[in-house]
């Protein structure tokens, strides 16, 4: 139990921090007096702390965090139905780490990774049912490296390599829904692909 002396000390401390606080809550309202933004604002003139944006009905539209006026930490964007749309992370106003994009029914449809504001590594896409659609290696915000595309039953459909964007390069393979290899192709630096082998005919001599 807090005695009277402890209570007085607590009140003094609370008053001291309240009076000396360098940040305060700011609310922005629309013409109908609905709060559409709420955030912590530093006396030096920048956001510093929690930031929230709302739809007119009061449902969340965005939840993020600022540090000295720059996005820093997790940022979430929401659909009007309340489901999360995007989940991402910032460091000093720059995208870093895991990036997730969802459909309106809550299904994850894209998973990517950022390094210093640039998409790097494996990017994975899903359909509305949660089936994997594509995996592709990213470098410098472009497709650069191995990729795989899938049939709706989960079986591998296409397998190859991208070069400087959505451009097939090198060996490209196609499979049927049962996982059988159907054909092989060779793709040049202009993403022109020529069949060199098929399941039915075997080796094929490309026509140039």
pLDDT tens per residue, range 103-154: 999 999 999 999 999 999 999 999 999 999 999 999 999 999 999 999 999 9
Residue ranges of alpha helices (H) inside the chain are: 4-20
Q: What span, in angstroms and rounded, lies between the C-alpha atoms of 138 and 150?
A: 18
How high is the pLDDT of residue 208? 62
pTM, entire model: 0.84
Residues 55, 80: contact at Cβ < 8 Å?
Answer: yes
pLDDT tens per residue, range 158-193: 999 999 999 999 999 999 999 999 999 999 999 999
How high is the pLDDT of residue 207? 67
- Ordered domains of the chain (ranges, CATH): 22-117 (3.90.930.1), 120-208 (3.90.930.1)
* Angle (CA) 135 105 155, round 5°: 30
């Amino acid at each position: 139990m807090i005695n009277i002396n402890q209570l007085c000390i607590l009140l003094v401390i609370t008053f001291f921090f309240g009076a000396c606080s360098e940040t305060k809550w700011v609310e922005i309202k629309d013409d109908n007096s609905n709060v559409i933004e709420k955030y912590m604002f530093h006396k030096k003139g920048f956001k510093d702390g929690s930031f929230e944006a709302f739809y007119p009905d009061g449902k969340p539209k965005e939840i993020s965090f600022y540090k000295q006026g720059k996005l820093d930490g997790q940022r979430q964007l929401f659909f009007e139905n309340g489901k999360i749309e995007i989940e991402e992370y910032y460091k000093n106003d720059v995208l870093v780490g895991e990036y997730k994009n969802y459909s309106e029914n809550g299904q994850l449809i894209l998973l990517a990774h950022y390094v210093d504001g640039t998409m790097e590594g494996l990017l994975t896409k899903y359909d509305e049912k949660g089936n994997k659609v594509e995996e592709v290696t990213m470098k410098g915000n472009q497709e650069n490296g191995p990729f795989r595309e899938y049939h709706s039953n989960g079986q591998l459909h296409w397998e190859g390599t991208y070069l400087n964007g959505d451009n097939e390069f090198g060996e490209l393979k196609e499979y049927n829904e049962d996982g059988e290899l159907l054909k092989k192709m060779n793709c040049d630096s202009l993403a022109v692909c020529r069949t060199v082998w098929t399941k039915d005919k075997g080796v094929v001599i490309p026509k140039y």
